[in-house]
Amino acid sequence: MVAKLISSPSNPIIKDIKALEMRKRRKETGLFIVEGLRSVIEGVELGATLKYIAFHAESAEKPELQKCVEYCEKCKGLAMEVTSEILAKLSHKDNPQSVIGVFEQRLSSLKYVDPQKSKCWVVLEQVRDPGNLGTILRTVDAIGADGVILVEQCCDPYSVEAVRATMGSVFSVAIVQTTRDDFIEWRKGWAGDVIGTTLQTSVDFREVTPKGPILLLMGNEQMGLSDALREITTTCIRLPMNGRADSLNLSVATGIALYAMLEPWKK
Pick the closest to residue 39 from 203, 169, 142, 154 (CA basis): 169
Dihedral angle sign, alpha carbons of residues 254, 153, 190, 114: negative
Cβ nearer to ligand SAM, comparing 96 with 219: 219
Q: Report in angstroms the alpha-carbon separations of 176 from 17, 123, 124, 148, 245.
A: 25, 9, 10, 6, 32
Interacting residue with ligand SAM among 17, 137, 194, 239 (CB under 6 A)? 239
Cβ nearer to ligand SAM, comparing 143 with 248: 248
Interacting residue with ligand SAM among 15, 241, 263, 264 (CB under 6 A)? 241
Per CB under 6 A, 256 contacts ligand SAM: no
Q: Report in angstroms the alpha-carbon separations of 169 from 24, 39, 146, 174, 237.
A: 23, 8, 12, 10, 27
Pick the closest to residue 203 from 195, 211, 212, 192 (CA basis): 195
Interacting residue with ligand SAM among 147, 157, 219, 255 (CB under 6 A)? 219
- The site that binds ligand SAM (CB under 6 A) totals a number of residues, namely 15
> How far is residue 253's CA from residue 208's CA, in Å, rounded to a whole number?
16
Per CB under 6 A, 199 contacts ligand SAM: yes
CB of 174 to ligand SAM, least distance (A): 20
Cβ nearer to ligand SAM, comparing 105 with 226: 226
Interacting residue with ligand SAM among 134, 192, 224, 255 (CB under 6 A)? 224
Phi, psi angle pair for 78, to nearest 5°: -125, 125
Give the interface with ligand SAM as residue ranges (CB under 6 A). Answer: 197-199, 218-219, 221, 224-225, 238-239, 241, 247-248, 250, 253
